[in-house]
Structure 1
Amino acid sequence: MSGTQVHVHLFYGADPRRYRKGENIGCLYGYHHAESAEFALNYAEDAREGTPVRFARRALKAALGFDLIHAWRNRRAILDADVIWTHTEQEHLAVAAVLLMHAKKGGARPLLLAQSVWLLDRWPGYGALRRAAYQRLLKRADLLTTLASENAALCGDFFGRDARHVLYGLNTQDFPLRPPSHWKPNTPVRIAGIGNDRDRDWTTLAAALGNDARYHVRIATRRRIPAEVRAPNVEVVRVSGLQQQHALYEWADIIVVPLRPNTHASGITVMLEAAALGKPMIVTKVGALEDYFDDKAAYYVEPFNTQQLRDAVNALVDDPARTLAQAREACEQLQTRDLTTENFARQHAQLTRDMLRERDPRVAPASRADGVSSAHAAGQMPRGM
């Protein structure tokens, strides 16, 4: 194979050979868009496993905080790579452990791009032993990246290292851009809250809008809902698959992303999807989400402020023209800021060039300006996640 060999190490269950099998969507998160003559990509393979082995792997993952067994199974691809890309700390810590176990003196070693999501939020709560172990593994990473500027800054505070902020992106094949041409709310107003992240604040959403016949609230989550969230006008639903996701967005007048304070851009996937589908959104102002959309594109409210959240809903309902302008602006910013999986892959390609040139200044710049070919130009997988 020619070009730089890149191993994309994702969690067990994200193997492109099995994930959404038959849909031919490429790699989850869109890393496959970097496939070109310059970069040859391969992916972590999911080994078939029975129930006892699966239980043991997950138990060790829970104890360590990363999936060492999954990485160990893929050690040959890891060790043979020029560069390794990871999506969260659960992958890069495992890859670092494998690399350290196979460390050799002399010769080229794989470069590790270590992207963290929840690590910085959780760091203050870790004990001394876990911090020391993770610090050792982080030293093996050649470049730290995050999806939020707040997290990037915390890498300096916690680890004494710079980190690069990478903008996450939407799969526009699953969610084609549909700029809205009009907006008129239903009666009662239909409010949708979506997400499984641990920092969703369903309690504040229900306190603001529950037990009020003016609002019909649907919460789509797989997480356990506190008892205080239950109310006659609040439904908790399970949404599975793209068809059901689109149906929920279509049903909703307004998307609310209620959040507890965090630093990892919790809620950004829902914001991207809402923006693409032309849905106005109310979002808690935490997690550096303004890295992606400014206050012209989203109605930001303070955390835990039920009155402000309710007032925001009423303000959108009372001024349909303003609400339509906000939804259109969000769709426009998604487009102009290129918040897509293609650009997500493009950023990784450029970071990889930077890493290679830092290791060896003699490495020539790529012949293509962006180094990321389209699916048609590269003859590789079609656009997808």
Structure 2
Amino acid sequence: MSTKVHVHLFYGADPRFYRKGDDIGCLYGYHHAQSEAFALTYSKDARESRPMRLVRRALKAALGFDFIHTWRNRAEMLRSDVIWTHTEQEWLSAALMLLLCGRKAGPGASPLLLAQSVWLLDKWPSYGIARSWLYRKLMTRADRLTTLASENAELCQRYFHRDATPLLYGLNTRDFPVTPPTEWKPRTPLRIAAIGNDRDRDWETLIKAVGNDPRYTVKLATRRRIPASLRASNVDIALFSGIKKQHELYDWADVIVVPLRPNSHASGITVMLEAAAVGKPMVATDVGALRDYFPADEAAYVPPFDPQALRDALDRLAAEPAEALRQAQAAAAGLLARDLTTQHYAMQHVRITREMLNARGQASAPAAPTQQQRAAPARESRGGL
């Protein structure tokens, strides 16, 4: 019999509606785990009135997770053997639902809960006594903790005295096929693209580094509000939504910059994966365990809050085109060598799920190999992390 896995995602990521018509499967690539041994279901978005939407969002703001969305999906979750989650907003909510439904933790507990955290560890020191107590209580229902960065995994041990498994996030190579560059020539002025909506993007340092300097022209794509005091004549701020628009922005750029505030959750890694795939050299702030994904020879790393260091890194790339090309080629090769893809990301979940089931004495049958595994068995045999 196959293992029943329920993938619990945020409201708005229902595979039936997310990018409908693009046939991308599940957001984050969990669908790659579907096989004869693993049968996947996904959380569904309920149609709701405007007043109900306001109530759901208000409760989400109060709790820090979307409990109403989870409660609506409880039947499918309770029928599963394992629940996968992508962020703490999903697993905290799932843990509360399981406890309220009498599905407590312990030997033979079902379903198992695979709890992945992203922002939780960064925010933890700011939480008050009540929220910290609640989240610790809910964590007792999490059977396995995972993160997307080694720094977050270390913080799990520091704050909760529990081990966490760092996983490597991956790129959807259908949207961004890996194309190693064969040449790189900077234009004048140097074209800089910066993309992202994460709370830890440091637009201020980027604009201080290159704003109002005619040697650079910048396109900044974000939904975040940029203060009027940071506006600059050579910085175009807009939202480039959709894969086509993102590709147009990457094609336009000479260099991709990922400016960040200190964090522990690999903020900016999606943009770095995309930049590596399209063959653009990168400058990134050296925070958040980004080196888990791209070591120092594959990206130019700079200290946080240092406009001069950021500007110097850009100038070095422009002054040494051959080195910039080598860096971009190394990043593309590294992406492939480490298999930083959504397929591999899903298979890491398969491996961990088997470990969880084995620990419970309920091992599943071997999964049918994916097309990627058949094509590159040696790469998969390394174990994933």
TM-score interval, smaller chain: over 0.9
Q: Do 1:261 and 1:287's aligned partners in 2 also have CA atoms closer than 8 Å?
A: yes
TM alignment of 1:98-109, pairs within 5 A: 98-104=97-103, 108-109=109-110
- Corresponding residue for residue 270 of structure 2: 269
Q: Once the 2 structures are TM-superposed, how far is the Cα of residue 108 of structure 1 from its aligned partner? A: 4.6
| Secondary structure of residue in 2 paired with 1:109 | coil
- Corresponding residue for residue 383 of structure 1: none
Q: Do 1:12 and 1:46's aligned partners in 2 also have CA atoms closer than 8 Å?
A: yes
Q: Once the 2 structures are TM-superposed, how far is the Cα of residue 375 of structure 1 from its aligned partner? A: 9.2
- Corresponding residue for residue 83 of structure 1: 82
Distance 2:4 2:372 in 1: 18
Distance 1:229 1:270 in 2: 22
TM alignment of 1:356-375, pairs within 5 A: 356-360=357-361, 363=363, 366-368=365-367, 373-374=370-371
Distance 2:8 2:16 in 1: 13
Distance 1:265 1:259 in 2: 10
Distance 2:257 2:108 in 1: 52
- Corresponding residue for residue 71 of structure 1: 70
Post-superposition CA distance 1:173-216 (Å, at most 9, x none) = 00001110100011110001100000000000000001100000
Structure 2 residue identity aligned to 1:235: D
Q: Is it true that 1:349 corresponds to 2:356 in the alignment?
A: no
Cα-Cα RMSD: 1.5
Q: Once the 2 structures are TM-superposed, how far is the Cα of residue 238 of structure 1 from its aligned partner? A: 1.1
| Secondary structure of residue in 1 paired with 2:184 | coil
Post-superposition CA distance 1:230-280 (Å, at most 9, x none) = 011111011111110000000000000000000000000000000000000
Distance 1:200 1:258 in 2: 6
Q: Is it true that 1:93 corresponds to 2:92 in the alignment?
A: yes
Q: Do 1:34 and 1:372's aligned partners in 2 also have CA atoms closer than 8 Å?
A: no
| Secondary structure of residue in 1 paired with 2:60 | helix
Post-superposition CA distance 1:88-114 (Å, at most 9, x none) = 000000000000001158975100000
| Secondary structure of residue in 1 paired with 2:351 | helix
Q: Which has the higher contact order (CA 8 A, sep 6+)?
A: 1
- Corresponding residue for residue 19 of structure 1: 18
Identity %: 63
* Runs of 5+ unmatched residues, structure 1: 378-385
TM alignment of 1:1-385, pairs within 5 A: 2-104=1-103, 108-360=109-361, 363=363, 366-368=365-367, 373-374=370-371
Q: Once the 2 structures are TM-superposed, how far is the Cα of residue 372 of structure 1 from its aligned partner? A: 5.0
Structure 2 residue identity aligned to 1:62: A
Q: Once the 2 structures are TM-superposed, how far is the Cα of residue 228 of structure 1 from its aligned partner? A: 3.0
Distance 1:231 1:109 in 2: 56
Q: Do 2:144 and 2:164's aligned partners in 1 also have CA atoms closer than 8 Å?
A: yes
| Secondary structure of residue in 2 paired with 1:177 | coil
Structure 1 residue identity aligned to 2:258: V
Q: Do 1:260 and 1:304's aligned partners in 2 also have CA atoms closer than 8 Å?
A: yes
Q: Do 2:286 and 2:303's aligned partners in 1 also have CA atoms closer than 8 Å?
A: yes
Q: Do 1:217 and 1:233's aligned partners in 2 also have CA atoms closer than 8 Å?
A: yes
Structure 1 residue identity aligned to 2:354: R
Q: Do 2:178 and 2:332's aligned partners in 1 also have CA atoms closer than 8 Å?
A: yes
Q: 1:108 to 1:206 in 2, by over 3 A?
A: closer
| Secondary structure of residue in 1 paired with 2:209 | helix
Post-superposition CA distance 1:103-148 (Å, at most 9, x none) = 1589751000000000000000000100000000011000000000
Distance 1:175 1:104 in 2: 41
Distance 2:21 2:371 in 1: 21
Distance 1:75 1:152 in 2: 28
Structure 2 residue identity aligned to 1:302: P
| Secondary structure of residue in 1 paired with 2:352 | helix
Q: Once the 2 structures are TM-superposed, how far is the Cα of residue 359 of structure 1 from its aligned partner? A: 1.2
Distance 1:300 1:38 in 2: 42
| Secondary structure of residue in 1 paired with 2:331 | helix
* Runs of 5+ unmatched residues, structure 2: 375-385
Distance 1:267 1:162 in 2: 24
Q: How many residues align?
A: 372
| Secondary structure of residue in 1 paired with 2:30 | helix
Q: Once the 2 structures are TM-superposed, how far is the Cα of residue 87 of structure 1 from its aligned partner? A: 0.1
Q: Do 1:35 and 1:372's aligned partners in 2 also have CA atoms closer than 8 Å?
A: no
Q: 1:256 to 1:107 in 2, by over 3 A?
A: closer
Q: 1:4 to 1:78 in 2, by over 3 A?
A: same
Distance 2:230 2:303 in 1: 19
Q: 1:260 to 1:96 in 2, by over 3 A?
A: same
Distance 1:222 1:112 in 2: 33
Distance 1:348 1:325 in 2: 33
Structure 1 residue identity aligned to 2:262: P
